[in-house]
Amino acid sequence: MNRCHLAIDVQEHYNPSPMLVQDINKFSRKYPTAATLFIHREDLIPTNAMIGESGPAKDSCLIDNAQVFERHGYTLPRSLVMWLKNRNPEEVVVSGGMTDSKVLAAGFALFDVGIKPVLIPPLNYGNEWFNHTVTVRIWEQSIGPVHETAFDL
């Protein structure tokens, strides 16, 4: 099956566990991989003014084998969507940070452009385990398949 991998905001600022970063990097070597890097720009998306959070003004991606796309809000950059579409995947495995917001938003964004998103919960992290598990169920019901491990693919 033709697959791609999308790693959402696996970056220094969010302090993901080294083991998770290692697992995501290992997975990224199996498929063409794109990664987002969230950089705050108040002039583009006034998150500080809207919700009182700003995020990093500068950061680095922790995914070794990826085409990195900078983003400034929840939406996926058009250039990333085009990068994926040019590869014509049957599905895109989504991993990364903030399962309950950023990963979920990425899943809906892929769905909306006709790309089948797939989630592997152990390759994702969030602020709270409860929100993470609720998001996995939302994904399963509204977006696409959920595989419990990478071995299920």
**Which range marks the domain in which residue 113 is found?**
3-152
> What sign does the CA torsion over 49, 46, 119, 113 have?
positive
Give the CATH number of the domain where residue 75 resides: 3.40.50.850
Higher pLDDT, 71 or 44: 71
**Confidence bin at 6 (pLDDT 50/70/90):** very high
DSSP string for 65-132: S-EEEEESSSSPPHHHHHHHHHH--SEEEEEEE-IIIIIHHHHHHHHHTT--EEEEEEEEE-S-HHHH
What pLDDT was estimated at residue 44?
A: 83
> pLDDT of 40-61, one tens digit each?
888 887 887 888 878 888 899 9
Neighbour tally for 32: CB within 10 Å: 19
Distance of CA 68 to the CA centre of its chain: 12
Q: What pLDDT does 113 receive?
A: 97
Query: What is the domain count for the chain?
Result: 1
